Structure 1
């Protein structure tokens, strides 16, 4: 039992370590010790470095989200594998502070992971000049095969959409299938109906809790997938940015 616990924790930690951010990415240095803080364009005329600063704005937000997500996962793992959770967890009752704290940090990580999907869509909107206001960007809309927003990145949009609509399957080795749909349903239930982490039986809802470890696996795996998609588009963006600087030097 101890070996299983250690193996699961190691798996979670290994998955989380797959996601990293470079604090200096998109930072434009001016001399040795100064950097370009920001640029605001006038009217419809994009200022020099204007698009780069938009990328940097999103990237700085991603870095901020990521350390908060990782901190929440670390705390959730600690409480989910506590002795109290091992010995006293019930599908019906909530008997310990450790359980409440485990779900608290899981919810923190879940909502911020959900934000990553819209940040991914923002990067695609900006890089491919998708004609939609930034205030109205929604990731399922951007990557939907029934919309025309993804015409310039049709193959990648189809890949991403296939993942987010994947059928549920936890009876498989390694990463489970349908993680995003599960996480999205969990989030929507929290927002629009009632807590999935409280057991109830009423005309309003019938709900038995999942163990925090079950939720952790699904949310962490979804977090790693969206972070990988973010890394891929960031790498493409960086290539374009660097080529622009190279052209300017010619």
Structure 2
């Protein structure tokens, strides 16, 4: 059963401009983690050593690896969201949900990327497979850095991730409250239950699909929020290496 079949899933031009305006403001510098090595060359990586300087270099290149992955994710996330907006405006439901689902998974991956960076910077040093963005920011025990700026950052991210899904209330920038929790639930539904584009009325699951514009608003606002907090994380790292 397709609940949205033959229905108009396009949305007002003002909503399209709202989403595109937010996406246009999301950006990442491409040359933050660069170590020149003469004649236009650069060091591309190091392995761990016994001395403190070697370990600092290794940490630097861990950040570089994660940040390069984020930039790659950013390109693909924006492409997916932009294509979802276009498909929705053209009333192409299959394409709209295809790109929305792509965006959901990649945005969650980008949050996990931030969590990995945080894990290194904070000194928690959990194993890569033990880092989950939905819970790592709430952990206070074991932090190697406890200055006011860092702790405020940690607290703000934790509060955002824990927000209850409630579109009658707003969060930062007037965005709907609980966007991230909503997106996590979408990801979990796609991974463990059923399609977010199909109606399910059974003991297995009860689900009425949200229209693309509703999901896209949550996705775009959440991704901009990630960009905002990632920027703060980068500032902390710059201060550390300066």
In 2, the alpha carbon distance for the partners of 1:135 and 1:75 equals 32
**Residue aligned with 2:168, SS:** coil
**Residue aligned with 1:170, SS:** strand
**Residue aligned with 1:218, SS:** helix
In 1, the alpha carbon distance for the partners of 2:59 and 2:225 equals 26
Structure 2 residue aligned with 1:158:
155
In 1, the alpha carbon distance for the partners of 2:162 and 2:135 equals 13
Structure 2 residue aligned with 1:49:
57
In 1, the alpha carbon distance for the partners of 2:94 and 2:71 equals 27
In 2, the alpha carbon distance for the partners of 1:121 and 1:194 equals 27
Structure 1 residue aligned with 2:127:
133
Contact 1:79 1:99 in 2 (8 A): yes
Deviates more, 1:21-30 or 1:98-107: 21-30
Which has the higher Rg, Structure 1 or Structure 2?
1
In 2, the alpha carbon distance for the partners of 1:193 and 1:168 equals 20
Structure 2 residue aligned with 1:24:
31
TM-score w.r.t. the length of structure 2 is 0.85
In 2, the alpha carbon distance for the partners of 1:10 and 1:131 equals 42
Of 59, 65, 76, the match for 1:68: 76
Structure 1 residue aligned with 2:109:
115
User: Relative to 1, partners in 2 of residues 1:27 and 1:103: Cα closer, same or farther, differing over 3 Å?
Assistant: same
The Cα of 1:42 is off from its aligned counterpart by 4.3
Contact 1:16 1:70 in 2 (8 A): yes
Contact 2:66 2:113 in 1 (8 A): yes
**Residue aligned with 1:54, SS:** helix
Residues 72-83 of structure 1: pairs in structure 2 closer than 5 A = 72-82=80-90
Deviates more, 1:186-195 or 1:170-179: 170-179
User: Relative to 1, partners in 2 of residues 1:54 and 1:5: Cα closer, same or farther, differing over 3 Å?
Assistant: same
Q: Size of the alignment, in residue pairs?
A: 224
Of 18, 25, 47, the match for 1:11: 18
Q: Which has the higher contact order (CA 8 A, sep 6+)?
A: 2
**Residue aligned with 2:12, SS:** helix
Structure 2 residue aligned with 1:100:
94
The Cα of 1:48 is off from its aligned counterpart by 6.0
In 2, the alpha carbon distance for the partners of 1:61 and 1:213 equals 28
In 1, the alpha carbon distance for the partners of 2:42 and 2:77 equals 28
Residues 126-205 of structure 1: pairs in structure 2 closer than 5 A = 126-144=120-138, 148-149=141-142, 152=146, 153-171=150-168, 174-205=174-205
| Post-superposition CA distance 1:19-74 (Å, at most 9, x none) | 11111111111123211111112479745622111110011011011000000011
